Amino acid sequence: MKEEFFIATIRDVAKLAGVSVSTISRYLNKSGYVNAETEQSIKNAIEKLNYAPNQVARGLAGKKTNTIALILPDISNLFFSDLARAVEDVAATYGYTVIFGNSDDQGVKEKRYIETLKQKYIDGIIFASNTFGHEDAEMLTKLGIPYVCLDRGPDEQNASIVRSKNREGAAMAVQHLLDVGCRKIAHIYGPQNLITGKERLIGFEKSVQHLDWYTPSLLEPADFRIAGGIEATERLLERHPDIDGIFAGNDLMAIGALKALHRMGYRVGEQVAVCGFDGIQTTEITMPELTTIAQPIYDMGALISRLLIKKIEGTLEEDRLYELDVQLIARASTLRRKEGHDTT
Amino acid sequence: MKEEFFIATIRDVAKLAGVSVSTISRYLNKSGYVNAETEQSIKNAIEKLNYAPNQVARGLAGKKTNTIALILPDISNLFFSDLARAVEDVAATYGYTVIFGNSDDQGVKEKRYIETLKQKYIDGIIFASNTFGHEDAEMLTKLGIPYVCLDRGPDEQNASIVRSKNREGAAMAVQHLLDVGCRKIAHIYGPQNLITGKERLIGFEKSVQHLDWYTPSLLEPADFRIAGGIEATERLLERHPDIDGIFAGNDLMAIGALKALHRMGYRVGEQVAVCGFDGIQTTEITMPELTTIAQPIYDMGALISRLLIKKIEGTLEEDRLYELDVQLIARASTLRRKEGHDTT
DNA sequence: AACGTTTGTGGTACCGTTACCACAAAATCA
DNA sequence: TGATTTTGTGGTAACGGTACCACAAACGTT
């Protein structure tokens, strides 16, 4: 246990290959000239010594560590764990390692991570956290640390941002609910300090405000969580027992609506249609299965990761906003209405 | 954009404080003597320069990076994202940063991570992956990289392992199903190359083998996934349409069972009771809510993380196996049977 | 008074790379 | 043929810390 495994350094390789460390370094980085024969003997030496360049030393010398960080509110949140998977997949193929941190949407925690990451010469950061503010952005820019954001950036014009078409998605949800025969649709909307919450609400309002049955009391706020969805649904049904469609601002709240409706004796799908937003895996698990406006979560993670790496490597032409298409996944929670104008 | 933010080094601090770098270093690491007045001026200098020691340089000099890695099959799996959350929480409080990698239970990927981590002077690794084998373990030991394992280690006696009481949990599940009145219980078991799959099967068999209704054809293999659970349930019901209880080897398969039963017209809870294993969040979402043997996922993650850090810092007395208690969470998927010997 | 110990400090080699410069031999050009 | 460029190589100072050693002053101790 004490015989400390031997780890070869570039000097060991140089000695064995009979050349200088400079030559090895040049060979490794494909910078500068190195003769064909020399190259071969270097290869042999590396092979024999099982040499692999030390990344920490490289990091110190070059201020590049091949590591990126992913700051998100909570990795145990279904949406973010899916995202994290995509980020890591892409990062790995490009030779990057991923560090992650849970901010719980608390600015303090986020700042603490940034501080740590700076001392570790991290190459870039992905922010999927909502507390990322102006001063953080400014500091990172000054430090020369590239970053990209999910959903929202501190200054929309000066950063790469990936999100999906929230307004359009909300409109699609409403249209689908109308298509299946709903004639009184409520919306449980998410926190208005989150762009997703806000945009989906706007999208909903725009789609329904011209309809005769619409009244603002069909709007009910909640917190993007299951329990919040349950409570909001209860409040809504108290005001409007005749609601026949609910569009929830995200899937978790939609699941809450499902539970509440079920508990109160409504038949979901037949009597009341429910549509969520996000497309998390769990929507396939509910009973009935949940109709949802699916964000391309994996694609978003892959894209944002690729953008960051491009930015790090200086091959990103320009910072801009990417708004990805969403997709309606119609399932059993929104069946076609039997009653009403249906003529069959 | 070109004015490159100034980042102070230990030498800048030394100059400003009017002492040598040695003294600063001693102050920072609380190693060796430093006069009270000197200390004050060092503090001032650090404050003024907003200095924070560079971790990469530290890493190179001391071969310690305050970084640990978490290798798991898939971060987007509900169980592992919960675990990851706990690991990161604990790591952060001890001043460690967490790198994660998805192995997809492929040995190649896992080895690739180990290789990378070695070059990065990672301080330790948590393996929640099932492909972690003997040679990997040996190599890490030789390299002097501490590691701890979830569920299973390559050599049980020589590593710290955290798991939960799988056999006992299986017995609890059976007992609960019997308690609610089940008299013909099937078991959908997981992959037998996974310790969780194997132990839960053993626990089940031991609990039922002496019962008169038991027959091995009540056992059905699946793959720990929802779709697998559905198929297994279908096969089981074909053989034994009168099954009144199903114990699934994990929650995902139990969810599959729920779906299959529902689809086939069985009333889950009343006619057939279903019990899962793991205690993932999603069990609260199903309808009916799923009874499960809950592993203390967060505690497991926290413990394993703490063990690794202790091992890194040399304060772990001995390597051993930790088997944590599981807990029955009885919910609507296992209601008390009405039929049979019930006298009311 | 002579000696040993504690306190306080600085100098510098090293950790394992990369980047820059210097230099020489070979190849190309006028 | 001499000048210029290309090819190939080595030396060494960084990168930003830590750790060991040397040294001196202050303090006790007998």
For A283-327, what is each residue's pLDDT tens digit?
A: 999 989 999 999 999 999 999 999 999 999 999 989 999 999 999
A15/C24 CA-to-C1' distance in Å: 22
For residue B136, pLDDT beyond 90: no
Model confidence band, residue B154 (pLDDT cutoffs 50, 70, 90):
confident
Number of DSSP helices (H) and strands (E) in chain A, helices first = 12, 12
Instruction: List phi, psi (to 5°) of A148.
Output: -135, 160
Q: What is the pLDDT of residue B339?
A: 53
Contacts of B143 in chain A (CB under 8 A): 5, 7
CA A117-A120-A126 angle, 5° bins: 35
Instruction: List phi, psi (to 5°) of A242.
Output: -100, 15
For residue A340, pLDDT beyond 60: no
For residue B157, pLDDT beyond 90: no
Model confidence pLDDT, tens digit, residues A21-51:
999 999 999 999 999 999 999 999 999 999 9
CA B282-B285-B290 angle, 5° bins: 80
For residue B5, pLDDT beyond 80: no
CA dihedral B239, B245, B251, B256 (to 10 degrees): 40
Q: What is the pLDDT of residue A338?
A: 62
Contacts of B99 in chain A (CB under 8 A): 67, 97-99
Model confidence pLDDT, tens digit, residues A90-148:
999 999 999 999 999 999 999 999 999 999 999 999 999 888 888 889 889 989 999 99
Q: What is the pLDDT of residue A303?
A: 98
Chain D nucleotides close to protein (CB under 7 A) are 7-12, 14-21
For B181-192, what is the mean pLDDT?
96
**A54, A85, A118 member nearest B74 (Cβ):** A85
Alpha helix (H) residue ranges in B94-133: 107-119
In chain B, the domains with their CATH numbers are 10-53 (1.10.260.40), 62-164+297-324 (3.40.50.2300), 166-295 (3.40.50.2300)
For residue B341, pLDDT beyond 50: no
CB atoms within 10 A of CB B103: 22
Model confidence pLDDT, tens digit, residues B197-247:
999 999 999 999 999 999 999 999 999 999 999 999 999 999 999 999 999
A269 touches A180 (CB < 8 A): no
For residue A184, pLDDT beyond 90: yes
Residue A115, chain B, CB below 8 Å: the answer is yes
B261: closest chain A residue by CA: A287
C-alpha–C-alpha distance, residues A330 and A283, integer Å: 11
Per-chain mean pLDDT for chain B: 93
Nearest-CA distance from B143 to chain A in Å? 6
In the block, tokens 């769990």 appear at A282
Q: What is the pLDDT of residue B287?
A: 85
Model confidence band, residue A339 (pLDDT cutoffs 50, 70, 90):
low
